[in-house]
Amino acid sequence: MRFPRSSLALATALALGASTLAACSDGDGDGGTDGRGGSGASASARASAPPDAWIPGHVAKMSVQEKVGQLFVPTFYSRADALRTIRRYHVGGLIYFPENFGSPEETAAQSNALQKASKIPLVLGVDEEQGIVTRTPFITRFPGNMALGATADPAQARAAARVTGAELRAVGINLDYAPVADVNVNPRNPVIGVRSFGSDPARVSRMVAGAVRGYQDAGVAAVAKHFPGHGDTATDSHTGLPVISHDPDEWRKTDAPPFEAAIGAGVDAIMTAHIVVPELDDSGDPATLSRNVLTGLLRERLGYDGVITTDSLRMEGVRTKYGDGAVAVRAIQAGADQLLMPPDLPEAYEAVVRAVESGKITERRLDASVTRILRLKQRRGLFREARADPAKAASVIGGARHEATARQVAEKAITVVADRGEVLPLKGKTVAVTGPKAETLAGALRDQGVRTASPGSADVTVLTTDDAGSATAARVRALGGKPVVVAALGSPYDLNSAGGAAAAVAAYSSGTASLRGLARVLAGTVKPTGKLPVPAGGQPVGHGLDYR
């Protein structure tokens, strides 16, 4: 999505005299009578101006310290700590982690207190991808992106994101650092894997667009990550600096399409990756600090003019060459707008202020970032109303409709990859279950009318795995001569080592909804509909068996 940048829009904004945000210093999140300030302007001028026309005029009146503060989204340890941070550094937002949550009612009240302390509404974000990356203790649990990819249905991605977004917004969280837009083409990827929608750029693109729209349906800003693409690495950027060998043509065909789809869907922000791609920038700097990548590729080639946020600046992948203050300055110089989780907020903040005062970062460059950030907040309605309703928060969380959506996604994802021994479905057979979550799956099978027994007396054994990798083959052999069904509860790549099994099934998740969906498919209560989102078990993307 492009934003109005014409001289006419700027002139209109200045004419409106947007002295607005003094009006929201009481923390009610309302930027004046019409949500964009300039309440003294004529009704006809307001009607003809874009909704965010007031923003450039307001930015021009902010101090350097206030502008720099808008660039930062730090962590916090307590409400008191957050309030001090807001007042001292004028931060643009805060990120929630599990320790920041209480009950839904308590969390909503805390979010309101944080908003009240800030003159400009805050981005209150969380890294809630669902699946294996979840931060919110009370949220409705969905399987992760690879399960959604197995449904091959963007409507499922949109529905899941809409539920997640609605529950986040109910407690005052207005931005989710999701969806992952990486195309996972490396089975050994230690940091993306099932967080990705799959290995097919076209399918990943459709699912990313669906998810972006789902979050925005719920009034929550979506963040596509990790640009320029983290799907082909065997190094975790939390602990090292990955190097990806994609050349420009491969990047254009494999990594770029999901980000283009996100931009087409109006994504609010795009997160950078702490990875080196020498064919895109030979400086040795990670993409987060690369002007070639952020400004050259994302801004100029893909035409993106929304917010660019860094990944966490605490990660080792961005701290290998420069000090924490220099990293913050270099990220802004490269084209980033927001600095997520600086390890030392005072150091990073002062470094950026000094860089502006010395001219290393021009005020024009600073103003461009602050303008984008305020436009994001405008689009998500934060100047109209940033508060949550604590009394209603718990009633939005969970509930029959949200749980039903989670069950539907999980069930549609279950993929039968192989049935060489024609042992599926299991109803009418005596079944033993062994491996991770064995007791839970056995109980779910019994609920579907399947008899369970010990391995010695069972007709079939279901062996569950959860990222077992090559050890899967040995576990199949250890179970002896009776038919074995391997059910991968994590990475479907486990099925690459399940050649000795009679059948192989991918569930992509060990969550309750996925285990129940798996039981229903194994029992034959429902037919399997999932299709592989990555090559696995000797089968290509798009493969999936049905029951005849």
**Active-site pick, 52, 182, 285, 311:** 311
Nearest alpha-carbon partner for 131 in 120, 141, 123, 139: 141
- Both tokens of residue 326? 């220099």
462 sits in the region (left: phi over 0; alpha: psi -120 to 50; else beta) called beta
Residue 192 dihedral angles phi and psi, to the nearest 5°: -105, -75
Residue 311 annotated among the catalytic residues of the structure:
yes
Tell me which H or E stretch contains 374: helix 363-379
Helix 104-117 vs helix 79-89: crossing angle, to nearest 10: 20
Cα(435)–Cα(347) distance, rounded to whole angstroms? 48
Cα angle for residues 546, 547, 548 (degrees, 5° grid): 115
Residue 484 CA neighbour count, 13 Å, CB half: 26
Residue 246 annotated among the catalytic residues of the structure:
no
Range list of H helices, 175-228: 201-217
Which residue matches tokens 């994609």? 246
**Active-site pick, 28, 238, 305, 344:** 238
Cα(409)–Cα(160) distance, rounded to whole angstroms? 8
- Tell me the C-alpha to C-alpha distance, in Å, between residue 169 and each of 20, 175, 176, 378: 24, 8, 10, 15
Cα(471)–Cα(498) distance, rounded to whole angstroms? 9
How many residues are recorded in the chain? 548
Q: Quick count: other Cβ atoms within 10 Å of Cβ 537?
A: 23
Cα(234)–Cα(253) distance, rounded to whole angstroms? 20
Range list of H helices, 102-191: 104-117, 145-151, 154-170
Residue 324 CA neighbour count, 13 Å, CB half: 16
Give the CA-trace dihedral at 49, 55, 60, 62, to 10 degrees.
150
Catalytic residues: 238, 311
